Structure 1
Amino acid sequence: MVACQQQDEPHPIKEQIETPKVQNTAVDLTLMCQNIKKNMAEINDQRTTFALEQINQDLKVCLPLLNLEQQKALLSLSLKMYDNFLQVKRTPAQQIAFERYAFDMAQHPTIHQSHFEQLTARDQYLLKHQGQAYVEVVDAGNEQLSYRRSPEYLARIFAPYMPEAEKVFIENLAHQNIETAIQDKSLLIEPFEVARRALYWEDYIQQYPQSSYLSDAKLLLAQYRYFLFIGAPKSPVSEGYHDQYSVRVSSWEEIEKLSQRHDSELSKLAKKFIQFYHMSEEQRRQKIPASATAEQQLIHYLDLTRQNSSKDCFSDAICL
């Protein structure tokens, strides 16, 4: 009996020893989350990708403990954090070397190496570590390169811990913006993909009317509608707006498919688009107020919005 009692006695002592560890863990976690804003603000163009990765790991721990307003505050800080991290100061010669770097790399390895040696130390570091901590080098158009934070960053670091409406918005916009959709005033995606995205944002607006990203979803819908029926300055849907044969074949086929649906507002616009191209000029004048160009007539007839928003919805997982 004595032996049994002696074996049982240490258990309460063990529990007393373990309890402070749990408390210390909680204290450490609270302190880490309290300091995360300060740590994010301290990231600059002298820090390493390892420092970014450490903060991103801390964010994964802290974000589930916060409400949406607090999460979006950290999301805004993360934008500034990466902007600061990706800043590079270059001389004109270093700027030219940077812009030529990737374009010469495949065809002329020797020139590529000579350009690399002319780069700033920061450019050399970022190029060597691209792909780490969601840092990418992208073609910004007009034969210019730039760094960016991958759209997947918000989808993987923030979205999993946010309410469903915000989570779905971020994950889908990130997926859409992994590849560039528009560059140098030209659309780089096919009409079927433009239509798919327009239908998606139309559905999102109906499914998540309380989303904090509702206005951005409406902006995306308006932009993709415009791309579908009008196009972009250097890739218009129609050259002359005369009849069906003045419309790009791939665009007409996609819009015709849409017109056969009965489950969306987009299908109604597709029907009106086809009606427009079957009208004579006289019929257009009777049904549509006089406008300077046939393009303006079509925009008016479909009640499209030409987007002049200062927001960029094609670079990240949110509209910037």
Structure 2
Amino acid sequence: MRSEIIHLSICSVTIVLSCLLTACQRPAADIVHETKEAPKSEKTTPDLTQICQNLKQEMRDMNAQRTTLAIEQVNQDIRLCLPLMKFSEQKELMNLSQKMYQNFLHLDRTSIQQQAFENYVLDQAAYPTIQQSQFEQLNIRDQYLLRHKGQAYIELIEQDGDQIAYRRSPQYLAKVFAPYLPEPEKVFIENLAEQNTQALLKNNSINLSPDEIAKRAIFWQKYIQDYPKSAYLSDAKILKNTYSNLLFQGIESAPISVHFESQSDIDIASWIAIKRLAKSNDGELSKQAEKFQQFINMTTEQRKQKIQLSAKEQNKLENKPQLLLLSQLNQYLNLYPMDIKRAKRDCFSDAICSSS
């Protein structure tokens, strides 16, 4: 009896092994076939129409309690919808995106938190291994934004006057919007974004070399010629005029000259850039550079004879020799006076100009 049981057990093991071997030896094609036939989980296709219909409201709803992940998702939806829009709608979306980031970056700090924020950022720039205890003194939203700096086009800048602030990077419009815009507007945004990556003013001085200023003036002069129907034509003219003024005059707190009486009275780097421009073939700017050299070589009497100011202007500036000089220079070079800090249009913070 016992031998029969052993025999049956051996047979059972043999059968199981045989089955296993058979399964292992089945053709690979059968296994693949079964895999293909396995039921798949259904994936819902995003409704693009619905996404675009909801987009504006999503942008309006953005606030300072949301995450960088949330704003990046909205930016992704913007990329999906822009190709389906007319330029007028794209411009509306750009305006909304500015408000969206303003709401996202809005902060209500106490005076103590404001001081702690400025100290922390400045100290961290000097000492990257700053203590965690200082970080914990910050407003909770500041802690979040500093941890996620660099994400969702958020960056920190030092504004003129040593003020530290968050801003949406100028590259935001260049990367998210520009690829889907008409050519003139695309070129405008991409180039202004690149230029405004670097602050124009710092410590009440111009933060650019005269060569770079001349280069930018030439670019905007050419842009005006190449894209006379651009939606941003008037802003391009502001930029061209601003950089022309910076090149030939400087700013009030950092002029390129005091008396404009001789070559030795002109900032050396500015004189070299102007002299080079006068020898080039860059249209109006080259002519202005030539006239600047002529102006420098004129005597006070020659200026009075050749540059006729109105009687009203003459009387107004009679006892203000420095302002009289600048007024004569403006008229002789056909420059339009400007004050960057009090300008009605801010063209130096983002990839488009905005009302100040």
TM above 0.5, yes or no, is yes
- Do the aligned residues in 1 keep the contact of 2:162 with 2:203 (CA within 8 Å)? no
C-alpha distance in 2 between matches for 1:104 and 1:237: 34
2:275 to 256, 262, 285: 256
- Do the aligned residues in 2 keep the contact of 1:204 with 1:217 (CA within 8 Å)? yes
1:231 to 244, 247, 250: 250
Q: How far 1:199 moved relative to its partner?
A: 0.3
Which residues of structure 1 form unaligned runs of 5+? 1-20
Larger Rg: 2
C-alpha distance in 2 between matches for 1:136 and 1:229: 33
1:50 to 62, 65, 69: 69
2:82 to 63, 67, 70: 63
- Do the aligned residues in 2 keep the contact of 1:241 with 1:295 (CA within 8 Å)? no
1:301 partnered with 2:320: no
Which residues of structure 2 form unaligned runs of 5+? 1-41, 318-323
- The match for 1:318 is 352
What are the Cα deviations for residues 67-121 of structure 1, in whole angstroms up to 9, with x where unaligned? 1000000000000000000001000000111111121124456865443222100
What are the Cα deviations for residues 180-238 of structure 1, in whole angstroms up to 9, with x where unaligned? 11234421000000000000000000000010000110111111111010111222111
Q: How far 1:305 moved relative to its partner?
A: 1.1
Q: What's the secondary structure of 2:285's corresponding residue?
A: helix
RMSD of equivalent CA atoms: 1.8
- Do the aligned residues in 1 keep the contact of 2:256 with 2:270 (CA within 8 Å)? yes
What is the identity percentage for the equivalent residue pairs of Structure 1 and Structure 2?
Answer: 51
Q: What's the secondary structure of 2:155's corresponding residue?
A: strand
What are the Cα deviations for residues 49-77 of structure 1, in whole angstroms up to 9, with x where unaligned? 00010001111110011010000000000
- The match for 1:222 is 241
* 178-187 or 271-280, larger mean C-alpha shift: 178-187
- The match for 1:134 is 153
Q: What's the secondary structure of 1:79's corresponding residue?
A: helix
C-alpha distance in 2 between matches for 1:288 and 1:116: 60
- The match for 1:81 is 100
TM-score, structure 2 length as denominator? 0.80
What are the Cα deviations for residues 152-196 of structure 1, in whole angstroms up to 9, with x where unaligned? 000000000000000000000000011111234421000000000
